[in-house]
């Protein structure tokens, strides 16, 4: 059994324990004003022009109307000024009217706590996404195999469970802020494994990291410093193939966090990552010691009272869900949000996603997405949401038509809050 399989229950249990501690005997009694609960329901109708993200195969341009019905149940408590706890559960049932084999039920769970801890503070977050969906993957017959970046919107409808957890504490020592951190990811892909040529298998994978940041103030609320992460990634063996891409890494980060001005704030983590892969990589992988650039950077601009512009860049290395490779994962986003009034808002989001595989795999894919969204509040409890999406999958490797596609999706939803 992999180490992560043992850690996941403990991490989720830790959140529950923290929740209990936050409301323990030393906490003030929870008054009705400190207890909050809310529920909401949403029904959304979508037209998807390309359910399987294909343009040249028998699965090409399969369109469908898609109905999603969901709810959110949220409970939070605040028994003290520095103690908060929140729990949420959100089930969503999605039906593809013309492709019923793709129907799935998603369960989303989340929990978070904040509490004082020995002169500092502690925060925890945990989430679980459980998909009750198709038990078999898709068999791709086009040249190049699976669509660009592996067709995540198709893969994510399959039977699976994804767990995430993070713990962060913070202490002040003179002019320094010391911040130990830990993160966990585990993907339990439960769809069937087959040897059929072109079939998309998925192998379990996980990532665990521990580290600490040390920061000092440059200006009020603006901090800079250094961070260190030590971690590892595990990938399960797939069928009888000998390859797996388990690795260990050390990440050194330069940090900048906080407002640069009244109209601009930023959060930047950037630095080298020293990664070493295990002995079970493919024989032609090359040097198993790899140096990467890690980037997790965002910047938000406030352009007047009604407009915000957000920029996001992320780059990191991870193992393929296909179980037989690793790749550089890159995301680039720009989002503009505008408030037409206190009852109407709109947004335009441009997203570019790149996956460039390490040898011996020959894959270098892009997905470009443009999404326009709007929301109109009708009453205190009722709102209408709409969106238009245009998406294009592309391959930087020539003559790979199975990876390239175009897709449009149009959605209209009604949300009620209680």
What does the pLDDT look like over 298-310, one tens digit per residue? Answer: 999 998 899 999 9
Specify the pLDDT at position 73.
97
pLDDT over 90 (residue 28): no
Helix (H) or strand (E) holding 10: helix 3-22
Q: What are the structural domains of the chain?
A: 3-23+36-417 (2.40.160)
Q: Which residues are CB-contacts of 255 (< 8 A; sequence separation ≥ 6)?
A: 213, 215, 223, 224, 225, 226, 227, 268, 269
Yes or no: say if 147 and 403 are a contact pair by the CB < 8 Å rule. Answer: yes
* Alpha carbons 9 and 20: distance in angstroms, whole number: 16
pLDDT over 50 (residue 8): no
Mean pLDDT of 28-37: 61
pLDDT over 80 (residue 24): no
What does the pLDDT look like over 183-232, one tens digit per residue? Answer: 999 999 999 999 999 999 999 999 999 999 999 999 889 999 999 999 99
pLDDT over 50 (residue 1): no
The candidate with the shortest Cα–Cα distance to 298, out of 288, 308, 283, is 308
pLDDT over 60 (residue 10): no
Locus of tokens 């000998």 = 242
Mean pLDDT of 167-173: 94
The candidate with the shortest Cα–Cα distance to 79, out of 35, 45, 136, is 35
pLDDT over 50 (residue 69): yes
* pLDDT confidence bin for 78, thresholds 50/70/90: confident
What does the pLDDT look like over 321-360, one tens digit per residue? Answer: 988 899 999 999 999 999 999 999 999 999 999 999 999 9
Mean pLDDT of 58-86: 93
Angle at 52 between CA 51 and CA 58, to 5 degrees: 115
* pLDDT confidence bin for 271, thresholds 50/70/90: very high
pLDDT over 60 (residue 368): yes
Predicted TM-score (pTM) of this structure: 0.89
Distance in angstroms between the alpha carbons of the first and the last residue of the chain: 44
The candidate with the shortest Cα–Cα distance to 215, out of 171, 247, 249, 185, is 171
* pLDDT confidence bin for 53, thresholds 50/70/90: very high
Percent of the chain with pLDDT over 70: 92
- Of residues 24 and 85, more confidence is placed in 85
- Of residues 241 and 313, more confidence is placed in 313
Specify the pLDDT at position 118.
85
pLDDT over 80 (residue 30): no
The candidate with the shortest Cα–Cα distance to 151, out of 396, 331, 391, 409, is 391
Mean pLDDT of 171-181: 94
Mean pLDDT of 169-183: 94
Specify the pLDDT at position 13.
39
pLDDT over 60 (residue 32): no
Specify the pLDDT at position 174.
87
Question: Average pLDDT over the chain, rounded to whole?
Answer: 91
Mean pLDDT of 68-92: 93
Mean pLDDT of 150-164: 97
Three-state SS at 23: coil
Lowest-pLDDT range of 113-122, 138-147, 307-316, 367-376: 113-122
Pairing state between β 289-303 and 264-277: antiparallel
Three-state SS at 15: helix
Yes or no: say if 87 and 111 are a contact pair by the CB < 8 Å rule. Answer: yes
Pairing state between β 120-132 and 104-117: antiparallel
Lowest-pLDDT range of 3-17, 167-181, 265-279, 357-371: 3-17
What does the pLDDT look like over 387-414, one tens digit per residue? Answer: 999 999 999 999 999 999 999 999 999 9
Specify the pLDDT at position 240.
87
pLDDT over 80 (residue 5): no
Specify the pLDDT at position 151.
96
* pLDDT confidence bin for 119, thresholds 50/70/90: confident
* pLDDT confidence bin for 79, thresholds 50/70/90: confident
């Amino acid at each position: 059994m992999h180490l992560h399989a043992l850690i996941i229950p403990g991490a989720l249990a830790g959140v529950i324990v923290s929740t209990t501690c936050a409301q323990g005997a030393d906490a003030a009694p929870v008054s009705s004003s400190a207890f909050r609960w809310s529920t909401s329901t949403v029904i959304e109708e979508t037209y998807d022009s390309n359910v399987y993200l294909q343009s040249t195969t028998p699965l090409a341009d399969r369109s469908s109307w898609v109905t999603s019905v969901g709810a959110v149940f949220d409970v939070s408590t605040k028994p003290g000024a520095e103690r908060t706890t929140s729990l949420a559960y959100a089930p969503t049932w999605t039906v593809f009217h013309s492709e019923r084999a793709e129907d799935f039920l998603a369960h989303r769970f989340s929990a978070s706590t904040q509490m004082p801890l020995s002169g500092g503070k502690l925060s925890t977050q945990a989430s679980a996404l459980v998909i009750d969906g198709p038990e078999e993957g898709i068999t791709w017959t086009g040249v190049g195999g699976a669509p660009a970046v592996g067709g995540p919107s198709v893969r994510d409808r399959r039977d699976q469970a994804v767990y995430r957890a993070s713990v962060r504490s913070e202490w002040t020592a003179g002019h320094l802020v010391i911040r130990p951190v830990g993160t966990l990811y585990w993907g339990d892909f439960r769809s069937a494994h087959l040897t059929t040529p072109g079939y998309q298998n998925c192998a379990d994978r996980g990532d665990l990291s521990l580290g600490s940041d040390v920061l000092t103030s440059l200006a009020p609320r603006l901090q800079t410093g250094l961070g260190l992460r030590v971690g590892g990634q595990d990938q399960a063996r797939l069928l009888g193939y000998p390859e797996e891409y388990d690795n260990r890494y050390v990440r050194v980060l330069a940090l900048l966090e906080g407002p640069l001005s009244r109209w601009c704030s930023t959060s930047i983590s950037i630095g080298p990552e020293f990664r070493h892969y295990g002995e079970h990589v493919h024989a032609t992988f090359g040097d198993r010691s790899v140096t990467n650039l890690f980037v997790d950077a965002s910047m938000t601009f406030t352009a007047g009272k009604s407009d915000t512009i957000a920029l996001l860049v992320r780059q990191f290395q991870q193992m393929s869900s296909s179980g037989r490779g690793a790749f550089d994962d890159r995301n680039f986003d720009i989002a503009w949000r505008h408030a037409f009034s206190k009852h109407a808002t709109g947004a335009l989001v441009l997203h570019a996603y790149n996956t460039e595989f390490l040898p011996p795999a020959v894959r270098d894919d892009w997905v470009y997405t443009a999404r326009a969204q709007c929301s109109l509040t009708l009453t205190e409890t009722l709102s209408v949401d709409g969106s238009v999406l245009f998406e294009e999958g592309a391959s930087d490797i020539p003559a790979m038509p199975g990876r390239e596609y175009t897709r449009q999706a149009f959605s209209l939803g009604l949300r009620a809050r209680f």
